[in-house]
Amino acid sequence: MTSVGPLAGVRVIEAGQLLAGPFAGQLMGDLGADVIKVEPPGVGDPMRQWGREKSEGSSLWWPVVGRNKRSVTLNLREAAGQDLLVELIRQADVFVENFRPGTLERWRLGYDRLREINPRLVLVRVSGYGQTGPYSSRAGYGSIGEAMGGLRYITGEPDRQPSRTGISIGDALAAMHATIGALAALRHRDVTGEGQVVDSAIYEAVLAMMESTVTEWDVQGYQRERTGAVLPNVAPSNVYPTADGQLILIAANQDSVFGRLAALMDEPELAAEGSRYHDHSGRGEHQQELDDHIAVWTAKHDSDTLLALLHEGGVPAGRIYKAADMLSDPHFIARDAIVRVADPRFGELAMQNVVPKLSATPGSIRWTGPDLGQHNDEVYGDLLGLDAARRAELAESGVI
């Protein structure tokens, strides 16, 4: 299918596995890039087996992270496989990899060589600790990056061990920053004609999201701790009970918004001059007391009535959604936030749409994750010009 979107015409070779590298490939493929995914013969990316399965060997994760990609098999541990990758890179704009640092160099595929082959190449390297520094050679997964970057320490309830989010957020953040870096490097290349290396470390991608935690410690010796459902000194912003047993999240921590909430509660004096809740600092100082007071009011209303009041009154509020809520929500439907995509194994699959939405050159989901090596003939034959006999020879020797 012809690529559309702002990255149409950009060719990406993706040699990563699991999530940190492949999610970067997914993001660029969503925006129209021709992503050729290189996978080990016979086994492929472990993401083909990870996650829930509809039947044995039919992962429900792979169709999402593998979408919009062409799959070829290639044994990069063999010299012949390395040589084939070089030929792919000659015709590429971006090469994404998330092997342990030093692996490409052992395979004679370091940036110095790749730059000689293709001076315009943008090499995107995703790893746990980055390509330099004393920890660079260590094995690094997303969970370790989340811990080292500071996210794990402040996640969870204060009386328990640090928790984690229910998704691979460290890998995803590293991939997003890698994609941003790739797009910036492509812009620079279009101006100067020169490629460069994008070095995205998982722990640094997490660290980048840690707001002012480092500065607060450096200046005041203040260490943020685990605070469960709330941010310390940001109030009111919490989940509150309703008469029908639901939980509604209300975020009214800005002065003007809190004033609107107080009016809805028929207690405008809560936000009046002189009240302990009048400004941000006062509400933060009395956070628990204020939350308890609001909870008494919310518990008098069923969830539908409460949300109607809050939305009409201009107070940010909402339910805590699960997948079933998303699939039936009229706003999700109106914006095509979730789309159904044809899949050869499952018939049709619901999955999140391309983000962000572009008005003139929107991205698209053109197909779900392909079969292993599905595009060997297309890529090695049509793109590299290898005839059927040569492809058969490479397959027989285990190179592809």
- In the numeric block, the tokens 């929500």 are attached to 329
Instruction: Report which of 41, 37, 40 is spatially closest to residue 14, judged by C-alpha positions.
Output: 37
Give the chain's length: 400
| Per-residue pLDDT reduced to its tens digit, 178-220 | 999 999 999 999 999 999 999 999 999 999 999 999 999 999 9
Q: Which residues contact 108 (CB under 8 A, 6 or more apart)?
A: 79, 82
Q: How far apart are CA 386 and CA 82, in angstroms?
A: 15
**Do the beta carbons of residue 70 and residue 37 sit within 8 Å?**
yes
Q: Quick check: 37 and 80 in contact, CB under 8 A? A: no
What are the structure tokens assigned to 383, written together? 């793109």
- Nearest-Å Rg of the Cα atoms of the chain is 25
CA 107 to each of CA 78, 104, 113, 310: distance values in angstroms, whole numbers, following the listed order: 8, 5, 11, 60
The answer to whether the 11-209+358-396 and 237-321 domains have the same CATH topology is no
Q: What are the residue boundaries of the structural domains of the chain, listed by start?
A: 11-209+358-396, 237-321
Beta bridge partners of 199: 125
171, 244, 266, 304: the catalytic one is 171
The structure's pTM equals 0.91
Distances 305 to 68, 237, 332, 361 between C-alpha atoms, Å: 43, 19, 21, 40
d(C-alpha 373, C-alpha 393), whole Å: 15
State the burial class of residue 52 (Cβ atoms within 10 Å of its Cβ: 0-12, 13-18, 19+): exposed
pLDDT tens for the 400 residues of the chain, in order: 566 799 999 999 999 899 999 999 999 999 999 999 999 999 999 999 887 766 666 789 999 999 999 999 999 999 999 999 999 999 999 999 999 999 999 999 999 999 999 999 999 999 999 999 999 999 888 899 999 999 999 999 999 999 988 889 999 999 999 999 999 999 999 999 999 999 999 999 999 999 999 999 999 999 999 988 888 889 999 999 999 999 999 999 999 999 999 999 999 999 999 999 999 999 999 999 999 999 999 999 999 999 999 999 999 999 999 999 999 999 999 999 999 999 998 899 999 999 999 999 999 999 999 999 999 999 999 999 999 999 999 999 999 9
Active-site annotation holds for 171? yes
The domain defined by 237-321 folds into: formyl-coa transferase, domain 3 (3.30.1540)
369 phi and psi, to 5 degrees? Answer: -50, 130
Return the structure tokens found at 210. 């840690």
β-partners of residue 238 are 250
- E-only strand ranges, the chain: 11-14, 34-39, 69-73, 94-97, 122-127, 197-201, 237-241, 247-251, 317-319, 338-343, 347-352
120-154 confidence digits (pLDDT tens):
999 999 999 999 999 999 988 889 999 999 999 99
Quickly name the fold that domain 11-209+358-396 has.
Rossmann fold (3.40.50)
> Do residues 114 and 188 make contact, with C-beta atoms less than 8 angstroms apart?
no
